[in-house]
Structure 1
């Protein structure tokens, strides 16, 4: 009997809502996405905020680095109008706000938290994220991912029960050695990796593969034989509406 492949909403339903906002996450839950993917960084005063870029320039009406603002400043910026004026009241959320909301849902939405610490070093980001997950008892619903191998290793040392995923681009030939040394429990990758011989070897070793960012049925159809465990997409409804069964 086939099981439904999981579909994660990339930064929420970011194809139709401003990314990494509560509006985008609520839209994901409305269409019953299996999970949401989001990005976290730290403010100047140590709050874990949900935003992709190291600066606020692209997705808010402000300018500057996330790390240079305290939370009381950051929360006042408009994080929705860049996408459409009707979202002008959207702001940068705290991870705490998102996780608290997840606990109110009537189904176990998975949360893929990407730690954006591969460019800027955020001291204690790992500890703070784990603390929030513990606070809301969401250990079984959270996946922590990063391009930063040292960060993933630190998470594993702090709490090896939390699922970790190594983010990669391209097709690194030494991937099996890398993931075994960190260690991690899954790999998040591009379609090219999932379709490669190395990708198949990784799956044979028992590492689930989640592929980003697949936004059309034609892209998805190329992956059908790749046996990936999840798709990360800006448009989860496209796939959920089709009731895809593997």
Structure 2
């Protein structure tokens, strides 16, 4: 019997709504996904905000690096019109905004929080995210992932129980050992890893395979048949038809 594969909305329902916005998250919640993947960075005054790129250029009407703006500045940018003019009121949310929404809706969604610290080494990003998780009592609903392995090591040193996902590209022959060393719950990998012998070894070692970012129906079905635990997708309409 093939186990049930969970679907996570990658940056929210990002094929139909502006990524990493509260609208994209709410639309994903209404489609009964198991989880939402989102990205966090730090503002100049050390506030945790939800945005994928280190620069705001692509997904807002502003120009510059997230780390160069104070929170009171960054929340004023338009984070929706780039996608469609109908979303001109969307803003860059804070992680606190997301947690307030989770609590207020009594949602049981898993939140996969990717620490975007593989390009810019944000000071104390790990501590700030963990403090917010503890404040809102969401430890059991959160997975923290990062391409920055040292950052995950730091998270584990601070918090002995929170779920971790080691995030990487391609086929990493050391991924299993790295994940087990930090007691990660899973590997966040590309499809080719899930089909590889290394992927099978990971699952045999007790690690979940959480595969990103799958928007092709044929590949989606192959991964389900392969028995992966999680598929992350932008296209929730595609996944709901399977």
Q: Distance in 1 between matches of 2:168 and 2:90?
A: 30
Q: Is 1:162 matched with 2:158?
A: no
Q: Call closer, same or farther: CA 1:239–1:176 in 2, change over 3 Å.
A: same
SS at 1:126 equivalent? helix
Corresponding residue for 2:15? 15
Instruction: Note if contact 2:18-2:24 (Cα within 8 Å) is conserved in structure 1.
Output: yes
The Cα offsets for residues 74-132 of structure 1, whole Å up to 9 and x where unpaired, read as 00000000000000000000000001101122440110000000010101100100111
Corresponding residue for 2:60? 60
Q: Distance in 1 between matches of 2:54 and 2:182?
A: 25
The Cα offsets for residues 145-182 of structure 1, whole Å up to 9 and x where unpaired, read as 00001110111111121100000100012222222333
Q: CA deviation at 1:241?
A: 4.3
Q: CA deviation at 1:240?
A: 3.0
Q: CA deviation at 1:219?
A: 1.3
TM score, norm. by length of structure 2? 0.96
Q: Which runs of 5+ in 2 are unaligned?
A: none
Instruction: Note if contact 1:167-1:188 (Cα within 8 Å) is conserved in structure 2.
Output: yes
Q: Which runs of 5+ in 1 are unaligned?
A: none
SS at 2:40 equivalent? strand
Q: Distance in 1 between matches of 2:4 and 2:198?
A: 25
The Cα offsets for residues 32-91 of structure 1, whole Å up to 9 and x where unpaired, read as 111100000000000000000000000000000000000011000000000000000000
Q: CA deviation at 1:201?
A: 0.5
Cα-Cα RMSD = 1.3
* Consecutive aligned runs of 4 or more in structure 1 exceeding 4 Å deviation: none
SS at 2:140 equivalent? helix
Instruction: Note if contact 2:41-2:49 (Cα within 8 Å) is conserved in structure 1.
Output: yes
Instruction: Note if contact 2:5-2:224 (Cα within 8 Å) is conserved in structure 1.
Output: no
Q: Distance in 2 between matches of 1:236 and 1:206?
A: 28
Q: Distance in 2 between matches of 1:31 and 1:4?
A: 17
Q: CA deviation at 1:214?
A: 0.8
Q: Call closer, same or farther: CA 1:183–1:149 in 2, change over 3 Å.
A: farther
Q: Distance in 1 between matches of 2:175 and 2:136?
A: 33
Q: Distance in 1 between matches of 2:3 and 2:202?
A: 21
SS at 2:104 equivalent? coil
Question: What are the within-5 Å matches in structure 2 for residues 1-246 of structure 1?
Answer: 3-242=3-242
How many residues are paired up? 242
